[in-house]
Amino acid sequence: MVVAGFGRHVLVETESGQRLICHPRGKKSQVVVGDRIRWLPSQDEGTIEKIEERSNLFYRQDEMRTKSFAANLDQILILIAAEPEFSESQLTRALIAAEAERIKPIIALNKSDLAEPFGRAWTKLAPYRAMGYQVLPLAIKPKTAAAPANDGQTAELMALLHGKKTLVLGPSGAGKSSLTNLLVPQAKVLTAEISQALNSGKHTTTSTTLYWVDEARTTALIDSPGFQEFGLHHIDPMQLANYMPDFKAHAQDCKFYNCTHLHEPGCGVISEVKSTVSASSISANRYRLYSELFAELSQTRY
């Protein structure tokens, strides 16, 4: 299994836990962290012969190009915090990217010790809870002495991570490094070793890395620097509503099977957004984000 990627070189871990550097045979490297590969030894390193079929593949945007960066994930943990204020656009994009690959997303809201901003952020997440997403409060590294409740929160997170491979995503400052250091105390040392091995220590820029949380190597965190923009360009705009649970629930009521939910008469989504009978289950913000994404994904693709 590929446990770290660094351009064309990857670090591979064997079944018995040994690690070695492998290189792709061809010119183009398409191997990503989480991939299972077959390899052949070449001196003390290895040559990648074959990538095993993936159960899913996660993308990130790199300038105008969409690039894959992690595969075979069990779930995605979207780590946001009371502070800095999270972007609903980034959150929605991450959720759509997960849904499109049928990967379960979990949202964790960190810094519950900051009562006032936490309350605000928690309210902002109400529509996401209502549409069925699990939202977990956390205090990974509270400013005040840890309250007993925080242990409960961490335990709940641990239970969710147990036995799974989880990609952790989050904007800068949300507490991603704090979480990695909490669950994988030796992470910093490992990262240094990996960048040394893969890049002769020349660059310290971290790449996507898989860390085992337990000795038995069943629970893993995949850490990837930066939230950045998600690669959604592979997604068909006509499928967008399917990847948004609040939309999906009402898209079934649309008169036209190929409804874009932007202007059509008899659209179940639009009528829900405009509903005055009860509070709409599709927030104005989500509808705006949908329209923006629809336009963005409808542009000519390269």
Ligand X SMILES: Nc1nc2c(ncn2[C@@H]2O[C@H](COP(=O)(O)OP(=O)(O)OP(=O)(O)O)[C@@H](O)[C@H]2O)c(=O)[nH]1
Binding site for Zn ion (CB under 5 A): 254, 259, 261, 267, 269
Kindly determine how many residues on this chain lie close enough to bind ligand X according to the rule CB under 6 A.
17
Phi-psi region of 284 (alpha: psi -120 to 50; beta: other; left: phi over 0): alpha
The binding site consists of: 110-113, 170-178, 254, 259, 261, 267
Shorter beta-carbon distance to Zn ion: residue 192 or 238? 238
* Residue 86: CB minimum distance to ligand X, A: 11
List 67's β-bridge partners, or say none.
Answer: 60
Shorter beta-carbon distance to ligand X: residue 24 or 173? 173
Cβ-contact 180, 211 below 8 angstroms:
yes
Instruction: Report the partner that residue 172 touches, choosing among ligand X, Zn ion, none (CB closer than 5 to 8 A by kind).
Output: ligand X
Stretch that binds ligand X, among 38-46, 57-65, 111-119, 233-241 (CB under 6 A): 111-119
The binding site for Zn(2+) consists of: 254, 259, 261, 267
Cβ-contact 280, 273 below 8 angstroms:
yes
* Residue 156: CB minimum distance to ligand X, A: 15
Shorter beta-carbon distance to ligand X: residue 104 or 141? 141
The reply on whether position 110 binds ligand X by CB under 6 A is yes
Instruction: Report the partner that residue 47 touches, choosing among Zn ion, ligand X, none (CB closer than 5 to 8 A by kind).
Output: none
Strands 104-110 and 209-212: unpaired
Please provide residue 42's backbone torsions phi and psi, each rounded to the nearest 5 degrees. -140, 110
The reply on whether position 143 binds ligand X by CB under 6 A is yes
* Residue 175: CB minimum distance to ligand X, A: 4
The total number of residues shown for the chain amounts to 302
Shorter beta-carbon distance to Zn ion: residue 225 or 265? 265
Cβ-contact 108, 136 below 8 angstroms:
yes
**DSSP calls for 87-123:** PHHHHHHHHHHHHHTT-EEEEEEE-TTSHHHHHHHHH
Stretch that binds ligand X, among 43-51, 109-117, 239-247, 287-295 (CB under 6 A): 109-117
Shorter beta-carbon distance to ligand X: residue 130 or 147? 147
Q: Applying CB under 6 A, which of residues 104, 120, 141, 248 lies at the interface with ligand X?
A: 141
The reply on whether position 175 binds ligand X by CB under 6 A is yes
CA distance 277 to 5: 52
Alpha-carbon distance values, 143 to 14, 122, 139, 178 (Å):
40, 19, 9, 13
CA 106 to chain centre: 9
The binding site for GTP consists of: 110-113, 170-178
Q: Of all helices (H) and strands (E), which one includes residue 152?
A: helix 148-161
Q: Can you give the binding site for ligand X, defined by CB under 6 A?
A: 110-111, 113-114, 139-143, 170, 172-178
